[in-house]
Amino acid sequence: MSVAELKKEVDALSPQELAELAAYIAARDNEKWDKQIDEDFAEGGRLCHVLDEVREDIKGGRFTEMP
């Protein structure tokens, strides 16, 4: 099915069906985003060093809690 065909089908959805589809797409995107974040901050991940820096700042007293 082409994107044009999908758009036509989406346009034919009822408001309730459209809301259901939008919720599905948002949940799917959020799952992918969450997985990427987990991978990035996991041990050896590309942003693992950021967590190490934050931990060092906390240990060194260079951390203040947000209000």
Note the pLDDT tens digit of each residue in 10-35: 999 999 999 999 999 999 999 999 99
Note the pLDDT tens digit of each residue in 42-57: 989 999 999 899 999 9
Q: What's 12's DSSP letter?
A: T
Task: Write the DSSP string, 18-62.
Answer: HHHHHHHHHHHHHHHHHHHHHHHHSTTSTTHHHHHHHHHHHHTT-
Q: What distance in Å separates the CA atoms of residue 63 and residue 54, rounded to the nearest whole number?
A: 8
The band of 65, judged by pLDDT with boundaries at 50, 70 and 90, is confident
Q: How many domains does the chain have?
A: 1
3 pLDDT higher than 90 = yes
pTM: 0.57
Residue 22: predicted pLDDT: 97
Q: Do the domain assignments include residue 17?
A: no
Range of the domain at 65: 25-67
Residue 23: predicted pLDDT: 97
Phi (first) and psi of residue 42, to 5 degrees: -70, 160
